[in-house]
Amino acid sequence: MAKTDKSENKAAARELAFGGVWQYAPSIEGTDHFTIQARHELFVGGEWVKPKTGEYLPTINPATESVLSEVAMAGAKDVDRAVAAAQQAFVGWRRLPAEQRARYVFRIARILLERAREFACLETLDNGKPIKETRDVDVPLAAQHFFHHAGWADKLDLLFPGQHPEPLGVIGQVIPWNFPLLMAAWKLAPALAAGNTVVLKPAESSPLTALRLAEVFQQAELPPGVVNIVTGDGRTGAALVRHPGLAKVAFTGSTEVGKEIQRAVAGRSVELTLELGGKAAHLVFEDAALDQAVEGVVRGIFFNQGHVCCAGSRLIVQESVHDLFVDKLRRRMQRIRVGDPMDKNTDMGAIHSAAQLARIVELVQSGVDEGAELFQPRCELPAKGFWFAPTMFTGVGQTHRICREEIFGPVLSVSTFRTPEEAVEKANNTSYGLSAGIWTDKGARILWLASRMKAGVVWNNTFNRFDAASPFGGFKESGFGREGGRQGMRAYVRLKGALSPG
Ligand code: NAD
């Protein structure tokens, strides 16, 4: 559909190229600016270094398809150099008194919050997600993870009483494109607080906020080599996870790549945690507060364009309220504002990439072909960039691809249940097990259901709520290991029995 002149003017006013350097004005009226440099090198040993490959990859704004910058493509030799820098830094970092490590992590959190606006804008430009979300969710939550874990750094003995916690060594961390800054924070904060050093590999299509974090580390005077950032594609990730200098690999991404990484570390004395895909069930009972449940379901699937591992993509609603609930959902979906991610009123931004859009289109077509009923509200989508309207399928069968496969887009599939037993059976009828949601007025039913749901996180009368103190992670093909809270710290320490003569 045609892009409006108004949105074209806005986009043009906001992105101005000066001699190859992107300058960005966060609001047309605003006075503060920041720049995006034309080329980013690798961050190794506290310095920016050119890749030995001599290659660079472009990163684009998915809402406009314009190139924002190019980033270094790290090869095996670059990964070697980064691991060596992390090994060297580990010697001093692990010996640092824990309260001093805590101070560094705390300082990172504080600087991140001071630069919150810049990080929110950069994330929105590089990823396509609405500024409302980067401003209110991604950046504050990322800072919360650093604050939270700074608090644990000098209290590890209390976390693991009677055992002596030690850092593991150099951690290789590989993260996806859907929450670039937040996933970096989830991984870095516990690793650093526990005394490990890191080589981080951001996703190739959204590397800019992780690279800007390097500036925060420099500002916080984090010792060189404690965090190293190597950009590149899957080949860089593969070189990192295979590196013999690592003590642990922490991966967030697709189940397919997670399995590949499992094979790559098999037989080596390397610890592994995997945060993978999901296909969450969202159960709505007839006694639920239906209007609140509508809001929860909308947030559950359309937040971040549905590019969320724990998205509530399968709505399973009690048959007696199906028609009423679907009608309410249709009316609510008509009010979702899709468009310019930098507009603070936008609810749904751009699909992250052409490849992701193609996958969504293919799976939606399969839904139509397999006989489910499609609903999309009328909305004007910009002509340039990658866009997809909020979508709902009703009459979805358990064998339909849209019910079984992770779409990772703004597509909800709706089916029904009659009894709580049937609800549990349908909810668990998936190879994934990351999250689930329950909407009912009855506390006893929540407990009954939650104990039967095969999901690492079960939300009750809410959805997509995150907290650094709460462990997050999956069962089955959604991976293993937890991030956040005490369980998240456990993934970054080795425990020793420490007995003295009594
Ligand atoms: P992806 O698996 O394609 O890529 C993730 C990262 O792995 C990227 O940095 C990529 O460059 C790297 N990579 C690719 N091939 C590799 C290889 N062979 N060895 C090592 N690294 C390699 O995933 P994506 O498309 O970036 O992200 C979407 C997926 O991530 C979805 O399935 C989503 O559910 C999942 N995800 C899970 C969580 C969670 O906490 N469980 C959170 C966010 C996203």
| Inside any domain, residue 499 | no
- Report the pLDDT value the prediction gives residue 26, as an integer from 0 to 100: 45
- pLDDT of 29 over the 50 cut: no
Give the Cβ contact number of residue 349 at 10 Å.
Answer: 29
What CA–CA distance (Å, rounded) separates 390 from 305?
8
Are 256 and 321 within one domain? Answer: no
Q: What is the pLDDT of residues 311-338, one digit of tens each?
A: 999 999 999 999 999 999 999 999 999 9
| Inside any domain, residue 475 | no
| Inside any domain, residue 7 | no
Are 122 and 252 within one domain? Answer: yes
- Report the pLDDT value the prediction gives residue 412, as an integer from 0 to 100: 98
- Report the pLDDT value the prediction gives residue 34, as an integer from 0 to 100: 79
Domain count, the chain: 2
Which secondary-structure segment (H or E) carries 23? strand 21-24
- pLDDT of 169 over the 80 cut: yes
Are 266 and 316 within one domain? Answer: no
Q: What is the mean pLDDT of residues 280-296?
A: 98
- Active-site position among 41, 118, 204, 275: 275
Distance 326 CA to ligand 1 centre (A): 33
Are 302 and 230 within one domain? Answer: no
Residues paired with residue 494 on neighbouring β-strands, in sequence order? 166
Are 148 and 119 within one domain? Answer: yes
| Inside any domain, residue 501 | no
| Inside any domain, residue 500 | no
Q: What is the pLDDT of residues 61-74, one digit of tens each?
A: 999 999 999 999 99
Q: What is the pLDDT of residues 194-247, one digit of tens each?
A: 999 999 999 999 999 999 999 999 999 999 999 999 999 999 999 999 999 999
Q: Which residue has better confidence, 498 or 188?
A: 188
Domain containing 160 — which CATH number? 3.40.605.10
- pLDDT of 248 over the 70 cut: yes
Residues contacting 409, CB < 8 A, separation 6+: 305, 306, 307, 351, 356, 357, 359, 360, 363, 388, 391
Q: Which residue has better confidence, 8 or 295?
A: 295
Report the candidate in 14, 1, 65, 4 with the shortest Cα–Cα distance to residue 351: 65
- pLDDT of 2 over the 60 cut: no
Residues contacting 263, CB < 8 A, separation 6+: none
Distance 254 CA to ligand 1 centre (A): 4
Best mutation site among 241, 259, 309, 457 for ligand 1, i.e. most ligand atoms within 8 A of its Cβ?
309
- Report the pLDDT value the prediction gives residue 9, as an integer from 0 to 100: 43
DSSP 472: B
Q: What is the mean pLDDT of residues 448-471?
A: 96
What CA–CA distance (Å, rounded) separates 304 from 317?
23
Q: What is the pLDDT of residues 72-111, one digit of tens each?
A: 999 999 999 999 999 999 999 999 999 999 999 999 999 9
Q: What is the mean pLDDT of residues 270-277?
A: 98
| Inside any domain, residue 477 | no
- pLDDT of 21 over the 70 cut: no
Q: Are 248 and 271 in contact (CB under 8 A)?
A: yes
Are 258 and 289 within one domain? Answer: no
Are 334 and 222 within one domain? Answer: no
- pLDDT of 10 over the 80 cut: no
Domain containing 449 — which CATH number? 3.40.309.10
- Active-site position among 118, 271, 309, 310: 309
What CA–CA distance (Å, rounded) separates 207 from 174?
12
Q: Is 414 left (phi over 0), alpha (psi -120 to 50) or beta?
A: beta
Percent of the chain with pLDDT strictly greater than 70: 93
What CA–CA distance (Å, rounded) separates 300 from 410?
10
Q: Is the torsion defined by CA of 360, 364, 366, 372 positive or negative?
A: positive
Are 332 and 267 within one domain? Answer: no
- pLDDT of 30 over the 70 cut: no
What CA–CA distance (Å, rounded) separates 141 from 126?
18
Are 248 and 304 within one domain? Answer: no
Asked if 41 is an active-site residue, the reply is no
Are 108 and 188 within one domain? Answer: yes
- Report the pLDDT value the prediction gives residue 501, as an integer from 0 to 100: 82
| Inside any domain, residue 314 | yes
Predicted TM-score (pTM) of the model is 0.94
- Report the pLDDT value the prediction gives residue 223, as an integer from 0 to 100: 98
What CA–CA distance (Å, rounded) separates 44 from 65?
30
Three-state SS letters, 353-418: CHHHHHHHHHHHHHHHHCCCEEECCCCCCCCCCCCCCCEEEECCCCCCHHHHCCCCCCEEEEEEEC
| Inside any domain, residue 378 | yes
**Banded pLDDT at 49 (limits 50, 70, 90):** very high
Percent of the chain with pLDDT strictly greater than 90: 91
What CA–CA distance (Å, rounded) separates 14 from 340?
11
Phi, psi of 357 (to 5 degrees): -60, -40
Q: What is the pLDDT of residues 398-446, one digit of tens each?
A: 999 999 999 999 999 999 999 999 999 999 999 999 999 999 999 999 9
Ligand 1, CB cutoff 6 Å, lining residues:
174-178, 201, 203-204, 233-234, 237-238, 241, 252-254, 257, 260-261, 275-278, 309, 406, 408, 434, 474, 478-479
Are 94 and 159 within one domain? Answer: yes
Q: What is the mean pLDDT of residues 135-150?
A: 97
Which residue's structure tokens are 């462990």?
471
- Report the pLDDT value the prediction gives residue 32, as an integer from 0 to 100: 57
Using the atom order of ligand 1, give the atom closest to the CA of residue 264.
Answer: 19
Using the atom order of ligand 1, give the atom closest to the CA of residue 233.
Answer: 11
Domain membership of residue 132 as a residue range: 13-272+482-494
Asked if 309 is an active-site residue, the reply is yes
Q: Are 24 and 126 in contact (CB under 8 A)?
A: no
Using the atom order of ligand 1, give the atom closest to the CA of residue 472.
Answer: 40
Residues contacting 339, CB < 8 A, separation 6+: 7, 346, 349, 380, 381, 382
Using the atom order of ligand 1, give the atom closest to the CA of residue 257.
Answer: 2
Are 245 and 295 within one domain? Answer: no
Mean pLDDT of the chain: 93
Longest dimension (CA), the chain: 80
What CA–CA distance (Å, rounded) separates 349 from 120?
14
